[in-house]
Amino acid sequence: MRGSARFFFRRPLAIRTDIPLISFTFDDFPRSALQTGGAMLKHYALGGTYYASLGLMGRRAPTGTMFIPEDLNALLEQGHELGCHTFGHCHAWDTKPDAFENSIIENQQALRKLCPGVSFRTFSYPIGVPRARTKQRAARHFSCCRGGGQTFNAGTADLNYLAAYFLEKSRDDPQTVKNLIDQNRRARGWLIFATHDISGDPTPWGCSPHFFENILQYAVGSGARILPVAQALEVLRTPSFVVSSS
């Protein structure tokens, strides 16, 4: 049963933060996510997380024209995070857990060749919901793994299956996304956005620069702390300093 993966091999983390958190993430990733989306983030001195399948590098995929090797160093120099999305863009449900883990390892090895000294710290599951055993395998390699679910993380989150909100699903309805930013602020949660290409003529899995800018501006104005996934997790893991009045 697909829904069951949510309940097994959990790595719970209590989301406790005075300042709500937002992360912007891009899967696969299309060049436009860095060239257009990344430039917009940089304009606000912010970083995003790019979940790369190195097996897609230089290719055309349903989500657009993929990144090329030079993009990886540019991305890191600009302060973004490079995350893992398996080498072969393996379907999280249809792929056997062994093969799925092998593709994680293959992606890490490919990265070591392209960017010596760089390693992936976080992960996003391609296409579907992961199997329970796949969650268990992925957990060995990353500080956290992101799925979908169209919501934010509050209360107790599962680091092996963090919730994310795919922006393209509301690309004709920015108000819904703004309401979610407000809900996350009130809950003092961690809202992770995800999408693919950012282009004037987006694929069904991407959104326009105008929409992305609109959401980014609103997120910045909401007072949330906007950080790449690995850094947001560090913030959540750092106990806040309590000043004693006595």
Number of residue whose CB is nearest Zn ion? 27
For 13, which DSSP code? Answer: E
The residue to which tokens 């910045």 are assigned: 220
Instruction: Report the nearest approach of Zn ion to the CB of residue 85 (Å).
Output: 6
The residue range among 28-36, 133-141, 183-191, 237-245 that interacts with Zn ion, by the rule CB under 5 A, is 28-36
The residue range among 40-48, 69-77, 126-134, 169-177 that interacts with Zn ion, by the rule CB under 5 A, is 126-134
**Nearest CB to Zn ion, comparing residues 52 and 230:** 52
Instruction: Report the nearest approach of Zn ion to the CB of residue 182 (Å).
Output: 28
Task: Establish if 27 lies at the interface with Zn ion (CB under 5 A).
Answer: yes
The residue range among 76-84, 123-131, 144-152, 179-187 that interacts with Zn ion, by the rule CB under 5 A, is 123-131
Task: Establish if 197 lies at the interface with Zn ion (CB under 5 A).
Answer: no
Q: Which of 126, 147, 206, 228 binds Zn ion (CB under 5 A)?
A: 126
> What are the distances in angstroms from CA 114 to CA 69, 119, 154?
7, 11, 36
In the Cβ-directed half-sphere of 27, how many Cα atoms lie within 13 Å? 30
Per-residue tokens: 155: 């209360």
The residue to which tokens 């997120």 are assigned: 219
> What are the distances in angstroms from CA 77 to CA 23, 71, 80, 110, 175?
18, 10, 7, 19, 33
Q: Which residues bind Zn ion (CB under 5 A)?
A: 27-28, 126
